[in-house]
Amino acid sequence: MKKGTTPDYKQLNGIALAYFGDAVYEVYIRKHLLTTGLTKANQLQGTATRYVSAKAQAGLMKLMEQDQLLSVTEWDFFKRGRNAKSYTHAKNTSVVTYRVSTGFEALFGYLELSNQRQRVTELAHWCIEQVDAGRVEYGK
């Protein structure tokens, strides 16, 4: 890949997709939290955990499966992230939960890098609605 060009999402491994997808999803969450009127850093950070913790993301994936929300291709990119070899894992969570959350982030990375911004927005808003409705556990 040439320096300074957009990476080809088809060639990226699941960890690289998740690295990017984590940032993509985080922007939606931060924007959402600011629209709720929160302004103090500790409030923002604490509330963000409800949406971005590994446990919350794994719970959201379970709901996406139950609601049959994803296409076959989207599931493939989720699996690329979930099955990627990672030499680290989040504190206070199981390896399985961490891997599912990595798949969640890889899904967002794939969608953004493949210029499916409307779909990214749709899924991010759906995720926010699920968390706000109390359908997702978010503890560590």
CA 107 – CA 86 distance, rounded (Å)? 16
Local structure of residue 115 (DSSP, 8 states): T
**Mean pLDDT, the chain, whole residue set:** 93
66-77: b (≥16 Cβ within 10 Å) or e: eeebbeeebbeb
CATH placement of domain 14-132: 1.10.1520.10
pLDDT at 140: 54
Structure tokens at 113: 């890098």
Mean pLDDT of 16-28: 97
Are 113 and 12 within 8 A, CB to CB?
Answer: yes
User: Does position 1 have pLDDT exceeding 70, yes or no?
Assistant: no
- The percent of residues in the chain predicted with pLDDT above 90, rounded, is 81
Domain spans of the chain?
Answer: 14-132
CA 108 – CA 116 distance, rounded (Å)? 10
CA 105 – CA 2 distance, rounded (Å)? 24
Kindly list the catalytic residues: 22
List pLDDT tens digits, range 56-65. Answer: 999 999 999 9
CA 27 – CA 33 distance, rounded (Å)? 10
pLDDT at 4: 67
